[in-house]
Amino acid sequence: MSAVVEVPYIITDSVLDEHGVQFLVHGDDNFNTISEDRLIILPRTPAICSSMLLAYNRRIKIIQHAMDSDCVTQKFYETQAANNPDQWASQRIGN
């Protein structure tokens, strides 16, 4: 199963247990208090940060950031369609 869940800034084994997560994968700047057998540490790429990747992706439109207005609008309509398909369809048709 794949899901995005809200968690505290510092993740513990109990947070992983609560969400059925087997491992936490993190960069080598990890401060989470996870058992070593559940923690996978990856080295950081020198001179690259997530803010740079996000700016690059937004500029060339590889992915849409969740705060882009078009993306937010699309997610709103997808949510509305999933939760109330009859009402959403009539709005789109103009009835």
Radius of gyration of the chain (CA): 19
pLDDT averaged over every residue in the chain: 75
Whether 8 shows a pLDDT value over 70: the answer reads: yes
Q: Give the model's confidence band at 37: pLDDT under 50 very low, under 70 low, under 90 confident, else very high.
A: very high
Give the whole-angstrom CA distance, residue 23 versus residue 2: 13
Length of the chain: 95
Asked whether residue 51 is assigned to any structural domain, the reply reads no
Please give the structure tokens belonging to residue 62: 């590889």
Give the whole-angstrom CA distance, residue 35 versus residue 72: 37
Asked whether residue 54 is assigned to any structural domain, the reply reads no
Q: Do 73 and 37 sit in the same domain of this protein?
A: no
In sequence order, what are the beta bridge partners of 12?
33
Asked whether residue 55 is assigned to any structural domain, the reply reads no
What pLDDT is stored for residue 95 in this prediction?
43
Asked whether residue 41 is assigned to any structural domain, the reply reads yes
User: How many domains does the chain fold into?
Assistant: 2
Q: Do 4 and 34 sit in the same domain of this protein?
A: yes
Enclosing domain of residue 74:
63-95
What pLDDT is stored for residue 58 in this prediction?
79
